[in-house]
C-alpha cells in the first residue's frame, strides 16, 4: 500500500492538466468563446446551476483551437439551465479566474479542493452567455445510469416523499445529495452520523448478499459459478454508477468484486489483502482519489473494522439476541471511530461525544429506510401499496432526523475547536496504534511508545496555548463581499466592520465560521466597532492600550493600519508610512494616487472591491514593488505579530 501511495503521487503529478501543451489555461484568462462537455453530474442549487466541464475548444482571433482540461462553471439558474445534463455540450463566452482560497483561516479551502480534482479555473455565466447542445443520442453508460437515477427520484416525489425526507432518502439510497440543507448537515455532522447521508459499503454488501442467495440456482448448471460471478459484478458496478461513483462506493464495489471473483475460484480471500488490492487499483485508475477526504476516511474505517471489531466484540459475550446486536453495533462504531478520529479532527475540528448513542439508534433505522426505500422504488407505481410504503418511509426518515436532531441538542453533544497540525495528527495515529498494540500484546515497548506520544502531544498543545496567549493577529475575512476585520490579542477580539454592513454578520454561515475562528484562538471576549462611525478628526477609540482608532486609521500594538474607502485624506503635507493599507468599498482611486500619499509595507484589497479593479491595482502595485494581497484571489489573510 505504501508503494501504491508513492506511485499515486507520481501518477497524480503526471495527470496534472496544467503541464500539458493543450491545456486551455495556457491561452490566458481573458474573455474567449469556449466549447466543452459536461463531465460530471449537474448540481442544481437555489439560484445557480453548477457544472464541471471538460473544455474541448477555444476560439482565439477567429480561429478554433483544440484544448483540454476541466473547469468549474456557475450558470445563473433558469428553465434552460435546469435541463442541462451530464454529457451535454455547451458553447459559452467566459472569462476564467482562479478559485478563491478559504474565506476564513480555518474554513473550507475551495481552491485547494478543486486543485485536487484537477480544476484550476472557474467562471460565472449569465443568461445570454451560453448555449447548450443536448446529447440525447449518447450511448454513455454513466449518462444512462444518471438518467435512470432521475426517474427513480421522481418515484419518491410522485409518492409525496418530499422535503428533508426526500433529501435523506435520495442520499441514502441513490447517492443524490444536492438537496440536503445546511441544518441537516449540521445535525448529522455533530452527532457522528454523516456516513448515513451517503451510499456506502453497507448498501453494496446488501446487494451482494441478496444476489448471492438469489443466484445460488446457477451453481447447478454448467459454468454456473462463472455466470453468477459476472452477473454479481455487473450489477454491483451498475449500482455504483447509479449512485454517482462516490469514493466509498468505489471502494466497496472493487472489494466485493474481488471477493466474488475469489469465491468463484473457490478461494477464501483475506480481507486486508482485498482492501490493499482495491486501494492499489483505485489509485492507479484515479490518483486524485488520494486527496479525497471521503476516500481516506472510508479506507481507515474499514481497516479499523477488520482489525479491531473482533477483539472489541469478544470483550462482552452474551447469548441473548438484543444485547448481542446492540453490542455488535457498539463494537463496529468503536472500531471505526478509533481509527478515523485523528483524520476527522484534522479536517473537521470537532468530535461527536455521543457517537455510540447515535449509531445504536441510526444503524437499525437507516437499515429499515434502505429496505423500505428499495421496495418503494420497485412498487412505486402500484397505487395502494406505494401509498403505505411511502407513508412508512416518511415516518422512518422523520424519526431518524428527529432522533439525530435531539442528540445534537443534548448538552455537550459535540466538542469543537480541536485543531491539530499534520505532525500532531500523525502523532495521534501513533498514540492510538501504540495503545491498541499494548492492549492486545502487553509488551512494554508499546506502552513506552504510547507514553512518549502522549507527552509529546501534551507538550505541543501547551506550547501552542502559550504562543496563542502571546500573539497578536490581524485578520481580514473573505466572506462574499463583506469587509470584516478582526484584531485578536490573547483571548480578546475586536471585530471592525463598516456601519452599513453590521447587520450582515447575522448570516449563519458567517457567524458559524467566525465562531470557529475565535474558538481556534481561544477568544472568550469580543467587541464590535463600526469602521466609519465618525469622520471627525477628534473621534477616537482606545482599548486597553493596545488598540487605538482615530477615523480610518488604527494602531494595533506596534502596527499601523489605514483604510481607504472613498476619497484620499485632505491637507497631507508629507507621505504617511503605514504597515498595512486596506482598500475597501471599491473606491475610484488609482495606485499612483495612493502612492503619492502612502508608503505601505503591504496593500490588502478586501472582498468589497470588484475583481476588475483588484486586478488593475495588483498589477500596478507589482510595478511599484509593493506587496499586494487580494482577498478575492487568495482568500482570507491572517497576519501574526
Out of 106, 138, 170, pick the residue that ends a domain.
138
Same domain membership, residue 603 and residue 533: yes
Out of 402, 437, 470, pick the residue that ends a domain.
470
Residue 535 confidence (pLDDT) above 70 = no
Residue 389 confidence (pLDDT) above 80 = yes
Comparing C-alpha atoms, which of 108, 105, 97 is closest to residue 484? 105
Predicted local distance difference test score (pLDDT) of residue 349: 84
Least confident of 369-373, 386-390, 441-445, 508-512: 508-512
CA angle 370, 292, 103 (to 5 degrees): 105
Same domain membership, residue 509 and residue 429: no
Grid cell 450489477 is found at 235
Least confident of 46-55, 262-271, 375-384: 262-271
Handedness of CA 241, 247, 249, 254 (dihedral sign): positive
Grid cell 446529447 is found at 135
Please tell me the number of Cα atoms within 13 Å of 517 on its side-chain side: 30
CATH code, domain with 89: 2.40.50
Predicted local distance difference test score (pLDDT) of residue 538: 47
Residue 13 confidence (pLDDT) above 70 = no
CATH code, domain with 570: 3.60.15.10
581 grid coordinates:
493599507
Segment 47-55 mean pLDDT: 91
Out of 138, 166, 200, pick the residue that ends a domain.
138
Are the beta carbons of 182 and 231 closer than 8 angstroms?
Answer: no
Residue 54 confidence (pLDDT) above 90 = yes
Are the beta carbons of 597 and 569 closer than 8 angstroms?
Answer: yes
Residue 536 confidence (pLDDT) above 50 = no
Same domain membership, residue 85 and residue 41: yes
Q: What percentage of the chain exceeds 90 in pLDDT?
A: 20
Q: How far is CA 286 from CA 86, 155, 247, 273, 503, in A?
A: 20, 33, 11, 20, 45
Segment 304-319 mean pLDDT: 87
Residue 497 confidence (pLDDT) above 50 = yes
Separation of alpha carbons 4 and 48, rounded Å:
39
Segment 22-28 mean pLDDT: 87
Residue 499 lies in a domain: yes
Same domain membership, residue 602 and residue 514: yes
| Cβ neighbours for 26, distance < 8 A, ≥ 6 positions apart | none
- Highest mean pLDDT among 71-85, 201-215, 514-528 belongs to 71-85
Predicted local distance difference test score (pLDDT) of residue 55: 93
405 grid coordinates:
436532531
Separation of alpha carbons 139 and 149, rounded Å:
16
Separation of alpha carbons 339 and 266, rounded Å:
32
Predicted local distance difference test score (pLDDT) of residue 534: 44
Same domain membership, residue 527 and residue 596: yes
Least confident of 37-41, 93-97, 401-405, 543-547: 543-547
Residue 99 confidence (pLDDT) above 70 = yes
Query: Tens digit of pLDDT for each residue in 123-141?
Result: 999 888 899 887 666 677 8
Residue 146 lies in a domain: no
Residue 29, classed as helix, strand or coil, is: coil
Predicted local distance difference test score (pLDDT) of residue 587: 87
Separation of alpha carbons 338 and 214, rounded Å:
36
Residue 182 lies in a domain: no
Same domain membership, residue 465 and residue 509: no
Residue 413 lies in a domain: no
Segment 472-483 mean pLDDT: 88
- For the chain, the C-alpha Rg in angstroms (whole number) is 28
Q: Quickly state the pLDDT bin for 453 (edges 50, 70, 90).
A: very high
Segment 256-266 mean pLDDT: 83
Are the beta carbons of 54 and 36 closer than 8 angstroms?
Answer: yes
Q: Quickly state the pLDDT bin for 248 (edges 50, 70, 90).
A: confident
Q: Quickly state the pLDDT bin for 2 (edges 50, 70, 90).
A: low
Least confident of 14-18, 260-264, 364-368: 14-18
| Cβ neighbours for 62, distance < 8 A, ≥ 6 positions apart | none
Q: Which residues span the domain enclosing 490?
A: 472-640
Please tell me the number of Cα atoms within 13 Å of 76 on its side-chain side: 6
Maximum CA pair distance of the chain? Answer: 99
Q: Quickly state the pLDDT bin for 539 (edges 50, 70, 90).
A: low
Q: How far is CA 292 from CA 118, 241, 244, 296, 384, in A?
A: 12, 18, 15, 6, 44
Same domain membership, residue 561 and residue 448: no
Predicted local distance difference test score (pLDDT) of residue 137: 62
Q: What percentage of the chain exceeds 70 in pLDDT?
A: 95
Residue 493 confidence (pLDDT) above 70 = yes
Separation of alpha carbons 300 and 352, rounded Å:
18
Query: DSSP per residue over 559-621, as a string?
Result: EEEEEESSSPPSS--S-EEEEEEEE-S--S--HHHHHHHEEEEEEEE-TTS-HHHHHHHHHHH
Separation of alpha carbons 384 and 389, rounded Å:
9
Q: Quickly state the pLDDT bin for 398 (edges 50, 70, 90).
A: very high
Residue 616 lies in a domain: yes
Residue 572 confidence (pLDDT) above 70 = no
46 grid coordinates:
437555489
Residue 179 lies in a domain: no
Residue 347 lies in a domain: no
122 grid coordinates:
472557474
Same domain membership, residue 486 and residue 545: yes
For the chain, the 3-state helix, strand and coil shares in percent, each to the nearest 5, are 55, 20, 25
Predicted local distance difference test score (pLDDT) of residue 486: 92
Comparing C-alpha atoms, which of 147, 24, 132, 118 is closest to residue 75? 132
Same domain membership, residue 488 and residue 461: no
Same domain membership, residue 507 and residue 628: yes
Same domain membership, residue 525 and residue 457: no
Residue 618 lies in a domain: yes
Q: Quickly state the pLDDT bin for 256 (edges 50, 70, 90).
A: confident
Q: Are strands 472-476 and 485-489 parallel, antiparallel or unpaired?
A: antiparallel
Same domain membership, residue 479 and residue 457: no
**Total domains in the fold of the chain:** 3
96 grid coordinates:
476564467
Residue 528 confidence (pLDDT) above 60 = yes
Separation of alpha carbons 615 and 633, rounded Å:
9
Least confident of 113-127, 201-215, 229-243, 299-313: 201-215
Are the beta carbons of 504 and 470 closer than 8 angstroms?
Answer: no
Q: Quickly state the pLDDT bin for 456 (edges 50, 70, 90).
A: very high
Query: Tens digit of pLDDT for each residue in 334-362?
Result: 998 999 999 988 888 888 999 999 989 98
Phi-psi region of 192 (alpha: psi -120 to 50; beta: other; left: phi over 0): left
Residue 66 confidence (pLDDT) above 90 = yes
Segment 487-505 mean pLDDT: 83
67 grid coordinates:
484544448
Comparing C-alpha atoms, which of 92, 231, 219 is closest to residue 84? 92
25 grid coordinates:
489555461
Phi and psi at 561, nearest 5°, equal -125, 130
242 grid coordinates:
447509479
Q: Quickly state the pLDDT bin for 532 (edges 50, 70, 90).
A: low
Q: Quickly state the pLDDT bin for 434 (edges 50, 70, 90).
A: very high
Residue 260 confidence (pLDDT) above 80 = yes
Predicted local distance difference test score (pLDDT) of residue 37: 92
Residue 524 confidence (pLDDT) above 60 = yes
Amino acid at each position: 500500500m505504501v508503494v501504491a501511495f508513492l506511485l499515486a503521487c507520481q501518477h497524480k503529478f503526471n495527470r496534472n492538466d496544467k503541464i500539458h501543451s493543450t491545456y486551455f489555461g495556457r491561452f490566458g484568462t481573458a474573455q474567449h468563446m469556449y466549447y466543452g462537455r459536461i463531465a460530471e453530474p449537474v448540481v442544481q442549487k437555489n439560484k445557480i446551476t453548477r457544472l464541471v466541464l471538460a473544455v474541448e475548444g477555444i476560439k482565439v482571433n477567429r480561429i478554433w483551437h483544440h484544448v483540454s482540461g476541466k473547469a468549474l462553471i456557475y450558470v445563473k439558474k433558469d428553465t434552460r439551465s435546469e435541463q442541462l445534463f451530464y454529457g451535454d455540450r455547451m458553447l459559452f463566452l467566459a472569462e476564467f479566474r482562479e478559485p478563491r482560497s478559504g474565506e476564513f483561516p480555518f474554513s473550507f479551502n475551495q481552491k485547494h479542493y478543486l486543485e485536487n480534482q484537477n480544476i484550476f479555473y472557474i467562471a460565472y455565466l449569465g443568461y445570454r452567455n451560453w448555449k447548450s447542445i443536448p446529447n440525447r443520442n449518447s450511448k454513455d453508460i454513466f449518462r444512462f445510469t444518471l438518467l435512470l437515477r432521475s426517474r427513480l427520484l421522481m418515484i419518491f416525489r410522485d409518492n409525496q416523499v418530499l422535503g428533508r425526507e426526500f433529501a435523506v432518502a435520495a442520499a441514502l439510497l441513490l447517492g443524490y445529495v444536492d438537496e440536503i440543507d445546511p441544518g441537516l448537515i449540521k445535525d448529522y455532522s455533530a452527532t457522528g452520523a454523516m456516513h448515513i447521508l451517503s451510499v456506502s459499503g453497507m448498501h453494496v454488501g446488501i446487494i451482494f448478499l441478496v444476489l448471492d442467495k438469489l443466484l445460488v440456482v446457477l451453481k447447478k448448471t454448467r459454468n454456473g459459478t462463472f455466470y453468477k460471478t459476472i452477473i454479481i459484478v455487473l450489477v454491483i458496478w451498475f449500482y455504483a454508477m447509479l449512485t454517482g461513483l462516490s469514493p466509498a462506493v468505489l471502494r466497496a464495489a472493487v472489494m466485493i468484486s474481488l471477493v466474488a471473483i475469489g469465491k468463484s475460484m473457490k478461494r477464501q480471500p483475506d480481507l486486508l489483502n482485498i482492501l490493499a488490492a482495491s486501494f492499489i487499483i483505485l489509485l492507479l485508475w484515479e490518483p486524485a482519489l488520494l486527496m479525497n477526504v471521503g476516500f481516506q476516511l472510508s479506507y481507515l474505517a474499514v481497516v479499523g473494522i477488520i482489525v479491531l471489531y473482533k477483539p472489541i466484540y469478544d470483550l462482552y459475550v452474551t447469548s441473548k439476541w438484543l444485547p448481542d446486536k446492540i453490542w455488535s453495533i457498539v463494537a463496529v462504531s468503536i472500531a471505526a471511530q478509533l481509527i478515523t478520529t485523528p483524520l476527522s479532527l484534522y479536517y473537521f475540528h470537532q468530535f461527536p461525544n455521543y457517537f455510540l448513542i447515535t449509531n445504536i439508534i441510526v444503524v437499525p433505522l437507516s437499515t429499515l429506510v434502505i429496505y423500505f426505500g428499495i421496495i418503494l422504488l420497485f412498487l412505486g407505481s402500484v397505487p395502494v401499496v406505494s401509498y403505505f410504503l411511502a407513508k412508512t418511509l416518511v415516518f422512518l426518515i422523520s424519526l431518524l432526523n428527529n432522533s439525530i436532531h435531539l442528540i445534537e441538542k443534548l448538552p455537550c453533544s459535540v466538542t469543537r475547536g480541536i485543531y491539530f497540525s499534520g505532525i500532531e495528527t500523525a502523532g495521534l495515529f501513533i498514540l492510538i496504534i501504540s495503545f491498541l498494540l499494548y492492549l492486545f500484546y502487553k509488551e512494554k515497548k508499546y506502552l513506552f511508545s504510547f507514553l512518549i506520544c502522549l507527552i509529546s502531544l501534551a507538550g505541543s498543545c501547551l506550547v501552542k496555548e502559550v504562543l496563542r496567549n502571546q500573539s497578536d493577529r490581524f485578520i481580514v475575512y473573505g466572506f462574499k463581499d463583506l469587509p470584516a476585520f478582526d484584531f485578536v490579542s490573547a483571548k480578546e477580539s475586536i471585530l471592525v466592520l463598516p456601519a452599513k454592513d453590521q447587520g450582515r454578520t447575522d448570516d449563519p454561515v458567517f457567524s458559524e465560521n467566525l465562531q470557529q475562528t475565535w474558538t481556534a484562538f481561544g477568544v472568550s471576549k469580543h467587541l464590535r466597532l463600526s469602521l466609519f462611525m465618525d469622520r471627525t478628526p477628534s473621534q477616537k477609540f482606545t482599548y486597553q492600550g493596545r488598540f487605538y482608532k482615530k477615523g480610518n486609521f488604527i494602531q494595533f500594538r506596534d502596527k499601523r493600519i489605514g483604510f481607504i474607502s472613498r476619497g484620499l485624506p485632505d491637507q497631507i503635507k508629507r507621505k504617511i508610512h503605514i504597515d498595512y493599507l486596506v482598500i475597501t468599498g471599491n473606491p475610484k482611486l488609482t495606485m499612483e494616487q495612493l502612492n503619492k500619499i502612502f508608503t505601505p509595507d503591504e496593500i490588502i484589497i478586501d472582498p468589497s472591491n470588484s475583481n476588475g479593479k483588484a486586478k488593475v491595482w495588483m498589477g500596478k502595485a507589482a510595478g511599484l514593488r509593493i506587496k499586494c494581497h487580494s482577498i478575492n484571489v487568495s482568500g482570507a489573510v491572517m497576519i501574526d505579530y
